[in-house]
Every structure is written in structure tokens, then in C-alpha cells.
Amino acid sequence: MPLPMSYLKIAEDLAARIKSGEYQPGQQLPSYNELATLYSVHFSTITRAIGVLRLQGVVIGVPGRGVFVPEE
């Protein structure tokens, strides 16, 4: 059974998906729970991955609404 992805690898993968246009500017990312299911990891791993992307400016968090790809 393969090991689950690390939060850094998940952050890299999500950044690549954003860069490729899979997630468009202004688009909301799936919920933390949906991402945890998608990557087969714990909720806290997704929280750390999204934290990395927020620090890098790749995504923005909107309290009470979710995480979004910033508009250009």
C-alpha cells in the first residue's frame, strides 16, 4: 500500500493544478474534507497544505466561505 502524500507534496500538486488551469482565478477549491478524501489523508494534512499555499499567495482564504484561487 503506498504511503499517503505529505502536506508539501499535496501543496505542490494543488499549485500545479491551479497553474494548469484546473482551478481558475476566482474559483473555490474543494472543501478540506473533500480534499482529504481526494488525497486519502487526514484533515490536518490538508490544513497544513493549504497553509503553505496561503503563505505563498497561491490561494486566499475567505472566512466562512472557503479557499479560493486569487483573481489576477
Would 45 be classed as within a structural domain? yes
State residue 17's pLDDT score. Answer: 97
Residues ≥6 apart with Cβ < 8 Å to 27 = 68, 69
Range of the domain at 57: 7-68
Give the orientation angle of helix 43-56 with respect to helix 7-19, to 10 degrees. Answer: 50
Q: Is 20 exposed, middle or buried (0-12, 13-18, 19+ CB in 10 A)?
A: exposed
State residue 72's pLDDT score. Answer: 74
**For position 49, which CATH number holds?**
1.10.10.10
**Number of domains observed in the structure of the chain:** 1
Would 2 be classed as within a structural domain? no
Answer yes or no: pTM beyond 0.75: yes
Averaged pLDDT in 10-residue chunks for the chain of 72 residues? 87 98 97 96 97 97 95 84
Would 33 be classed as within a structural domain? yes
User: How far is Cα 20 from Cα 61, in angstroms, rounded to an integer?
Assistant: 20
